Amino acid sequence: MTALLHGAADWWSLFAHFLMLSLLSIGGAISTTPEMHRFLVEQQHWMSDEQFSASIAIAQAAPGPNLLFVAVLGWGVAGVLGMAVTMLGILLPSTTLTLAAARWGETRRETRGVQAFVNGMAPLTVGLVLSSGWVLGAPARTAWPLALLALATVAVCVRTKVSPLWLIAAGGIVGAFVA
């Protein structure tokens, strides 16, 4: 089910918001999911919590680039045109800035400022990805079996060399019985 965007102002708002998020997506577009959720679900009411979470889950399960979830969110908001608007918005500024910064940084990679910038981006990226996990993990915080499963998964990943694919399969089985 897609929401109806009423007029050019809604289309511009959708495009401009994803344009702005593009410049904030330091850890990849997935790091901006809390803000996407706030805008699409809480502010504009173009999607429900369930539609938002399902869109991200579907896109993350599909093979391909991590960025696919933006296309699925756009599709959920306004079909094919919504998909095109969100993808153009998220890709245009970051791609342009990355190309320019990479060329500039490559010629100055030995300078102290460039090295400090690169080293400073790691904690920022980790923080953005953790905040995305917090928003996407909201359903698990209200269902204690899912929260326990998430904690057990983290513990197993940290302490063993078990493939995460086995843990994903186990989570799917447990989720099928809990839901």
Domain that holds residue 34: 7-129
User: Do 158 and 112 belong to one domain?
Assistant: no
Number of domains in the chain: 2
User: Do 115 and 151 belong to one domain?
Assistant: no
User: Do 119 and 159 belong to one domain?
Assistant: no
User: What is the rounded average pLDDT of the residues 147-159?
Assistant: 83
User: Do 104 and 154 belong to one domain?
Assistant: no
Distances (CA, A) of 133 to 14, 56, 60, 169: 23, 12, 13, 19
Mapped to the 3 state alphabet, what secondary structure does 35-81 carry? Answer: HHHHHHHHHCCCCCHHHHHHHHHHHHHCCCCCCHHHHHHHHHHHHHH
Kindly report, residue by residue over 10-54, the tens digit of the pLDDT.
Answer: 999 999 999 999 988 877 888 899 999 999 999 999 999 999 999
Kindly report, residue by residue over 51-76, the tens digit of the pLDDT.
Answer: 999 999 899 888 888 899 999 999 99
Q: Which of 88, 108, 129 is the last residue of a domain?
A: 129
More confident residue, 146 or 25: 25
User: Do 19 and 42 belong to one domain?
Assistant: yes
User: Do 111 and 37 belong to one domain?
Assistant: yes
Name every residue whose Cβ is closer than 8 Å to that of residue 85 and which is 6 or more positions away in sequence: 11, 14, 15, 18, 74, 78
What distance in Å separates the CA atoms of residue 45 and residue 77, rounded to the nearest whole number? 10
pLDDT at 4: 66
Q: Is the pLDDT of residue 133 over 80?
A: no
Q: Is the pLDDT of residue 125 over 60?
A: yes
Average pLDDT, the chain: 86
User: Do 142 and 74 belong to one domain?
Assistant: no
User: Do 95 and 151 belong to one domain?
Assistant: no
Dihedral angle, C-alpha 113, 93, 123, 40, nearest 10 °: 160
Q: Which of 87, 105, 129 is the last residue of a domain?
A: 129
